[in-house]
Chains A and B, each alone.
Chain A
Amino acid sequence: MELVMDRLSKQFQNKIAVDRVSLRLAPGVTGLLGANGAGKTTLMRLICGILKPTAGSVAFDGQDVGTEEYRAALGYLPQDFGYYPDFSGLDFLLYMSALKGLDRRQARRRSLQLLDTVGLSDVYRRKVKTYSGGMRQRLGIAQALLNDPKLLILDEPTSGLDPRERVRFRELIARLGKDSVVLLSTHIVSDVEHIADRVLIMKAGQIVHDGAWDRHEDLERFYLAQFGEEEDHG
């Protein structure tokens, strides 16, 4: 089980958002750090097939990003997670299940199970527009897990969650990383510090650091040093 990116690039008019990124990601949690505009979200959207690369390729277990098999293995939580305000929490998950190709019985069982996992089981009949920001984020995480994905792309999954929920979700993501390839992007360095087996740091569309993380080291200091370097050069 491996996600392979080969010289993946994306250019928007004069701006190169992702610049010849080549990576191989094995099962486990990979943290993706970078300043705003570094290209993290663009890279994730390329991996999810939402954006077409200017050059390069993405494949998971030999399946190209455009194939149905690839999509069947994919779970994605976008940074700006959209929802249908008049759907109930359960309706939203049932709809997403249908989009992901789950059959009706399986969809209901899995939806209820995930609503319980993300702590929304007592409000699943309420309309999503009545949910708080944190509850919506939890619903977003639930939809990403509906198809039991082997490739999970999470863009800022813990933003909007309270500290207690964040810890709970870090544990959940760490568990998922045992059997799946999880790529986690966040601004919160401590999230990555706690759960990532491997850390990627992006700057100006390129991967400037790629390595396993020794949890005894201070990632935040290391991360800031990466960007301080640029300021020194500048």
Chain B
Amino acid sequence: MGNFGTLYKFELKKLLQRKMVWIALVLLAAAAILPPASSVIGKMYISSEVTGLENQVYTHYELVQRRRADPAHLEGRKLDTDLIQEAIGAVGVISQSTTEAVVGDDNAVATFTVRQADPDKMGWTLDGYTIQGEYWDIWDTVESMVGQDAMTDSLTAEDYYAAVDADRAAGYNVWGLTAGERAWWAEQAKKIETPLPVTGYPNGGWTAMAETAYVANLFIFLFAIIALAGLFPMERQRRTDALIQCARNGGAPLYAAKLLAGLTVSFCGGVIILGSMATACLILLGPEDAATAVQQLMNPAWGTPMTVMQLALILCGAYLAASLIHAVFVMAVGLCTKGGMAAMAVCFGVMMLFLIVYSLPRDWRVVSQLWSLLPAVFGNNSIVFDDRLVHLGGYLTSWQAAPLLWLVLLAALAALGLALHRRVADK
């Protein structure tokens, strides 16, 4: 293996000399910016006919920056009865208000109407007109648990947390959790501070990152397909396979060098794609929501005490690890099909399959749980909150168990690839 470094260097060079790899990387890194960018693209306007003021036009970027700069009235507060009632009251002001302004939005399907509200209660406003109240997220979170009919002045924090517990228990039934798993989650839930501390600017860059990281995962898979499907078949296409097969290091050493080069390219591609997505999220939408609890915004009934920043970082780390599995899978398919285009077609088909069938019936506990942990499915919005645990000595959550499964997958696919490489050499 004394030549491994040289072989690795040249295999890397072969990959990076292909224009298609660079074009795919640039396009996918640019595409990864689109989900966060879509939040700031477009304009919002308020017609003068209704307000009597001049036409007011604001870009979404401007609105986001205004919201970021606005004093965070809710910072340091807790989701208690007072806050719930303030939110109900504030949203109530909207519906009781009589003055209406027609607000058009480039990103909306149709023009919609927002009623004027009390600027003092609604927090940030736009020249007297409320576009989005800072209580809105709180109102929405509470309403998602208790239902709109319960959003009255008699609703208390106890009612809300009881509804959260009930929702959590219902979820456990849906997931088909065992008694042991329920007990474990009950212990976890105790670690979630009640009443829940809230942040003033919850819907920022970290939240966007947690919500869109899955898209980046698909882009990384797509990049691995484009870059690596032809890595092994290229030798056959260029008729260099004969030279390789009769060379001393043409077997396992070359396979290892190619494998490592493929893993390197896929991982670095993952860093660039995820990096561009994360950078866009944090620059355009801001990092102020780092400490926001997942329970405040994304899923009130989730049993794990975690901030959106922690969730985003876990997902990004998981997808970087997944980039290695994507790479080794694509290379194994390339060895199997012996053709770059054929491998690309098969891998793209597999990617589409995972996009469409992102979950299996939960009655098939083992199969559907394993499916949900596969790299191309993991984190597909509802799956990231998979409450089913993996019992390995102790209980592991889905994001703790997935890397272990991926390690096994990586080893199995690498071994399969080596067997296929040797089979080609022994034809």
Q: Pick the contact of B243 from A66, A87, A101, A143 — CB < 8 Å?
A: A143
- CA of A107 to CA of B2 in the docked complex: distance in angstroms? 12
Among A45, A80, A98, the one with the most B-chain Cβ atoms within 10 Å of its Cβ is A98
Alpha-carbon gap, A68 to B1, bound state (A): 13
Chain B neighbourhood of A74, CB < 8 A: 246
Any B CB within 8 A of the CB of A214: no
> A76-B242, A101-B3, A101-B249 known; 13 other A-B pairs, CB under 8 Å?
A45-B242, A50-B245, A68-B248, A72-B248, A76-B246, A84-B238, A94-B10, A95-B6, A98-B6, A98-B7, A99-B248, A99-B250, A147-B248
Query: Within 8 Å of chain B (Cβ to Cβ): is A123?
Result: no
Q: Is the C-beta of B330 less than 8 angstroms from some C-beta in chain A?
A: no
Interface string of A100-135 (1 = CB under 8 A from B): 111110010000000000000000000000000000
Contact B239 A81 (CB under 8 A): yes
B254 within 8 A of A: yes
Identify the closest chain A residue to B257 (Cβ): A98
- Interface pair A82/B3, CB less than 8 Å apart: no
B154 at the A/B interface (Cβ < 8 Å)?
no
Residues of B within 8 A of A51 (CB): 427
Q: Indicate the member of A49, A68, A82, A91 with the most B CB atoms within 10 Å.
A: A82
Q: Across the interface, do B240 and A48 meet the contact criterion of CB distance under 8 Å?
A: no
Option from A66, A82, A103 in Cβ contact (under 8 Å) with B239: A82
Q: A80-B239, A91-B13, A98-B10 are in contact. Are A48 and B3 (CB under 8 A)?
A: no
Q: What are 14 inter-chain pairs, A to B, with CB distance below 8 A? A: A50-B245, A50-B246, A68-B248, A71-B250, A78-B242, A81-B243, A82-B241, A82-B242, A83-B238, A94-B6, A94-B10, A95-B7, A103-B3, A104-B6
Which of A52, A71, A81, A94 contacts B247 (CB under 8 A)?
A71
**Interface residue A218 (Cβ < 8 Å from any Cβ of B):** no
A49 with B246: in contact, given A91-B13, A95-B6, A107-B6 (CB under 8 Å)? yes
Chain B residues with Cβ below 8 Å from A80 are: 239
Q: Is B17 an interface residue (CB 8 A)?
A: yes
Tell whether, in the assembled complex, residue A100 and residue B247 are in contact, meaning their CB atoms are under 8 Å apart: yes
Residues of A within 8 A of B13 (CB): 87, 91
Size category, B interface: 20 to 34
> How long is the Cα–Cα vector from A69 to B140 in the complex, in angstroms?
73
Contact with A along B1-32 (1 / 0, CB 8 A): 01100110010011001000000000000000
Q: What's the Cα separation between A107 and B427 when bound, in Å?
A: 29
B2 CB contacts on chain A under 8 angstroms: 101, 103
Chain A residues positioned under 8 Å from B6 (CB to CB)? 94-95, 97-98, 104, 107
CB pair A91–B248 under 8 Å, yes or no, is no
Q: Is B244 an interface residue (CB 8 A)?
A: yes
- Taking Cβ atoms with an 8 Å cutoff, the residues of B that contact A are 2-3, 6-7, 10, 13-14, 17, 235, 238-250, 254, 426-427
A189 within 8 A of B: no
Kindly provide the distance from the CB of A141 to the nearest chain B CB, expressed in whole angstroms.
12
Q: Which residues of chain B come closer than 8 Å to A97, judged between CB atoms? A: 3, 6
Min distance, Cβ A64 to any Cβ of chain B, angstroms:
13
* A96 interface residue (CB < 8 Å to B): yes
Within the complex, what minimum Cβ distance (angstroms) separates B292 from chain A? 49
Min CB–CB distance A65 → chain B (angstroms): 9
Q: How far is the CA of A51 from the CA of B17 in the complex (A)?
A: 30
Q: What residues of chain A lie closer than 8 Å to B250, measured between beta carbons?
A: 71, 99
In contact, A95 and B248 (Cβ under 8 angstroms): no
Footprint of B on A, CB under 8 Å?
45, 48-52, 66, 68, 71-72, 74, 76, 78, 80-84, 86-87, 91, 94-104, 107, 143, 147
B246 and A48 form a contact (CB under 8 A): yes
Contact assessment for B244 and A99 in the assembled complex, using a CB-CB cutoff below 8 Å? yes
Q: What 6 A-B pairs have minimum CB-CB distances, sorted nearest first?
A: A82-B239, A82-B240, A99-B247, A98-B6, A98-B3, A48-B246
Chain B nearest Cβ from A51, distance in angstroms: 7
Given known A82-B238, A91-B13, A99-B249, contact A76–B7 (CB-CB < 8 A): no
Query: Which residues of chain B are near A81, meaning CB under 8 Å?
Result: 239, 243
Contacts of A91 in B (CB 8 A): 10, 13
Bound-state CA distance A95–B253 (Å) is 13
Q: Is the CB of A100 within 8 A of B248?
A: yes
B242→A50 contact, CB < 8 A: yes
- Tell me if B242 and A95 are in contact (CB < 8 A): no
How many angstroms from the CA of A51 to the CA of B246 in the assembled complex? 10
Contact A71 B3 (CB under 8 A): no
In contact, B7 and A48 (Cβ under 8 angstroms): no
Q: Is the CB of B254 within 8 A of A99?
A: yes
Considering the chains assembled together, what is the distance between the CA atoms of A23 and B81 in angstroms?
96
Measured CA separation A100–B249 after assembly (Å): 6
Q: Which residue of chain A has its CB nearest to the CB of B237?
A: A82
How far, in angstroms, from A87 to B10 measured CA to CA in the complex? 9
Question: Nearest residue in A to B3 (C-beta to C-beta)?
Answer: A98
Minimum CB distance partner of A144 in chain B: B243
Known pairs A86-B17, A98-B7, A103-B2; A49 contacts B242 (CB<8 A): no
Q: Which residue of B lies closest to A127 (CB)?
A: B17
- Chain B residues with CB under 8 A of A50: 242, 245-246
Contact A84 B247 (CB under 8 A): no
Bound-state CA distance A153–B250 (Å) is: 17
Across-interface contacts of A104 in B (CB, < 8 A) = 3, 6
Please, how many angstroms separate the alpha-carbon atoms of A87 and B242 in the complex? Answer: 18
Known A51-B427, A68-B248, A95-B10; judge A102-B243 contact (CB<8 A). Answer: no
Select which of B3, B17, B241, B246 is within 8 A of A102 by beta carbon.
B3
Min CB gap A81→B, angstroms: 7
Task: Give, as a whole number of angstroms, the nearest-CB distance from A101 to chain B.
Answer: 4
Whole-angstrom distance between the alpha carbons of A76 and B242 in the complex? 9
CB of B20 to closest CB in A, whole Å: 13
